[in-house]
Amino acid sequence: MPHTGGPNILQKRKRDLPPAKADEVRVRVEAAGFSFAEVQMLRGRYFNQPRFPFVPGYDLVGTVTDVGPGVSDLAVGKRVAALTETGSWAENVVLPAEKLVPVPDNLDPADTVAVVTNGVTARQMLHRVARVQPGQTVLVHGASGGVGTLLMQLARIARVDVIGTASASKHDLVRSLGATPLDYRTDDVPARVRELEPNGVDAVFDHVGGPGLADSWRLLAPGGTLVSYGVASALEAKGHRLLPFVPLLARLLLWKAIPNGRQATFYYVQRWPQHFEDDLTAVLALLAKGQIDTAIDRRVPLSEASDALRLLDSRRASGKVVLVSEDS
Ligand SMILES: NC(=O)c1ccc[n+]([C@@H]2O[C@H](COP(=O)([O-])OP(=O)(O)OC[C@H]3O[C@@H](n4cnc5c(N)ncnc54)[C@H](OP(=O)(O)O)[C@@H]3O)[C@@H](O)[C@H]2O)c1
């Protein structure tokens, strides 16, 4: 990604990859994820993006092809996953060994990568932040996206009812994953949620931010938790990319301080590195048992990365878009 612009600005470049040094591992990438973060990066709006030019790519699954001195727990041929934040849209990468998690060989790499960032995000928000209980009801914004589709399924597995907001064209997908869809573009979402749950919901997962965050807070039942995890509404905003976080974090802090039994917090997937492997392994176990569907919309080779990013940028994707190696 050389600079800001549309999805067509992506360039494929070749460069020599250094050998794996001490405590590093070289990986041949088999699958990498496309996510909303790259849609933000295209506009220079992702809060933690590096300077241009850089190689995007939030996560990957691949096979170890070389290990540097000092790496004892990963052998050549082992399949691994990593959350990279940037850098995974590549044929080969060299990463610190500590970033790699062994994953099963018998799972499809594209299915596996679809749950690396999104599965861990969904699981941690549900079980470590909101601590949902059977019989509860939650509201999932962005239900049709990569995170949203997994959030709904993990909630259903925990015997939690889900109301999910999405564009109308994606309501069949939301319904098929066991949730009640609402159209955030045309429905009065707070009124509709109140009709469905007069006492409010036990958790709201909000990646939108902006003025609607106050609605998310007001929809909480006593004891409920607002989990804010993005500012999708600020995609086209002007000014510094961190500015939208100022009112958002101020509101969360204020609401958290009110002694009314409700909680409000911001979640970031790198918050608990010590739990990453356990949580990914737990989600992969559900995938292996066929209990979750990765809802992959499309698998594209590296040479078609611009088309894939366009699909996400134009909001035509349902579920996850995955980059796969040319030979898979
Ligand atoms: N905090 C963290 O650690 C963390 C980790 C992962 C992801 N995230 C955030 O989670 C969100 C989803 O990521 P993803 O990769 O799953 O995205 P994705 O697959 O591209 O899906 C995006 C979803 O957001 C919805 N959406 C986009 N813009 C919206 C807006 N202005 N208002 C309401 N809904 C909107 C889309 O709805 P329709 O297509 O139905 O219109 C779609 O369901 C992003 O905001 C991302 O930054 C945060």
Reading the chain (328 residues) residue by residue, the pLDDT tens digits are: 999 999 999 999 999 999 999 999 999 999 999 999 999 999 999 999 999 999 999 999 999 999 999 999 999 999 999 999 999 999 999 999 999 999 999 999 999 999 999 999 999 999 999 999 999 999 999 999 999 999 999 999 999 999 999 999 999 999 999 999 999 999 999 999 999 999 999 999 999 999 999 999 999 999 999 999 999 999 999 999 999 999 999 999 999 998 889 999 999 999 999 999 999 999 999 999 999 999 999 999 999 999 999 999 999 999 899 999 976 6
Q: What is the pLDDT of residue 51?
A: 97
* Strands of the sheet with 263-266, listed across from one edge: 180-183, 161-166, 137-140, 201-206, 220-228, 263-266
Distance CA 60, CA 19 (A): 19
Please tell me the residue having the least CA distance from ligand 1 atom 18: 145
- Provide the pLDDT for residue 93: 98
Measured from the Cα of 267, ligand 1's closest atom is: 1
268 Cβ inside 6 Å of ligand 1: yes
- d(C-alpha 313, C-alpha 322), whole Å: 14
Q: How remote is the CA of residue 146 from the centroid of ligand 1, in Å?
A: 7
Residue 326: predicted pLDDT: 79
Give, using CA atoms, the residue closest to atom 24 of ligand 1.
142
Give, using CA atoms, the residue closest to atom 21 of ligand 1: 145
Q: Which of 147, 245, 267 to mutate to test the pocket of ligand 1 (most atoms within 8 A of CB)?
A: 147
d(CA 99, CA 32): 15
Cα-to-centroid distance, 141 and ligand 1 (Å):
8
Rounded distance between C-alpha atoms, residue 92 and residue 193, angstroms: 46
Q: Determine contact, residues 111/262, Cβ cutoff 8 Å.
A: no
pLDDT of residue 260: 85
pLDDT attached to residue 328:
62
Residue nearest to atom 13 of ligand 1 (CA): 36
For the CA of 34, the nearest atom of ligand 1: 15
Q: Which domains does the chain have, with CATH numbers?
A: 7-115+294-324 (3.90.180.10), 118-266 (3.40.50.720)
